[in-house]
């Protein structure tokens, strides 16, 4: 997303995430990392079917690309390979109604393995909408209806380099929840 609206959402996401940030310090490592949902150069639409035709629910996974950027412009070496620890998912809505379990799904944090070398990038298939989210309001309320919810998924991937500096990156995308 670009432009004023994108900045606004990013600022909102940053404000919401600051209260429960699982990482302490992004500044100490010799690398920083970025994360984007694939295809998200412009507005990305993620579609989430809240219930299958047979009444079961499925986890929804989407790909993100994580890139490592050496701060000094040169390869700082293997000590600065970033090893991932986990992912945090927080949903927000453009109308400002953000109460978990009422307006948006509850936040989700889970462990994730893998790594990215200095200057490298990696694609990761990440869980974005869990079965549990679909079994609870507000997504449960959309089952077999023609209602829909637009939200923004704010994904944070966090980990550490091999000298124990915390590193994280944020990605966001627009999500449309409905019974497709
Ligand atoms: Ca469906």
DSSP string, 49-80: ESS-TTS----EEEEEEEEEEETTSS---GGG
CATH number, domain 3-178: 2.60.40.1940
Q: Which two tokens stand for residue 38?
A: 């694939």
> Distance from the CA of 48 to the center of ligand 1, in angstroms?
9
> Distance from the CA of 114 to the center of ligand 1, in angstroms?
32
* pLDDT, one tens digit for every residue, the chain (180 residues): 333 443 344 444 443 444 444 444 567 999 999 999 986 555 567 899 999 999 999 999 999 999 999 999 889 999 999 999 999 999 999 999 999 999 999 999 999 999 999 999 999 999 999 999 999 999 999 999 999 999 999 999 999 999 999 999 999 999 999 999
> Distance from the CA of 104 to the center of ligand 1, in angstroms?
19
Percentage of the chain lying above the pLDDT 70 cut:
82
Q: In whole angstroms, what is the distance from residue 92 CA to residue 107 CA?
A: 10
Query: Can you give the residue ranges of every domain in the chain?
Result: 3-178
**Res 23: pLDDT:** 44
């Amino acid at each position: 997303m670009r432009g004023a609206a994108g900045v606004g959402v990013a600022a909102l996401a940053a404000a919401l995430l600051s209260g429960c940030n699982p990482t302490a310090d992004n500044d100490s490592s010799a690398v920083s990392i970025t994360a984007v949902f694939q295809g998200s150069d412009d507005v990305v639409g993620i579609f989430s079917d809240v219930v299958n035709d047979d009444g079961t629910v499925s986890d929804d996974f989407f790909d993100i690309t994580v890139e490592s950027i050496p701060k000094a412009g040169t390869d700082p070496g293997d000590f600065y390979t970033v090893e991932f620890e986990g992912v945090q998912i927080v949903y927000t809505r453009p109308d400002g109604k953000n109460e978990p379990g009422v307006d948006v799904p509850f936040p989700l944090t889970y462990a994730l393995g893998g790594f990215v070398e200095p200057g490298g990038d990696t694609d990761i298939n990440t869980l974005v909408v869990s079965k549990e989210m679909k079994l609870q309001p507000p997504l449960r309320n959309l089952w077999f209806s023609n209602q829909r919810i637009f939200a923004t998924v704010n994904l944070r991937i966090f980990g550490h380099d091999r000298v124990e500096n915390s590193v994280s990156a944020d990605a966001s995308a627009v999500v449309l929840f409905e019974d497709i």
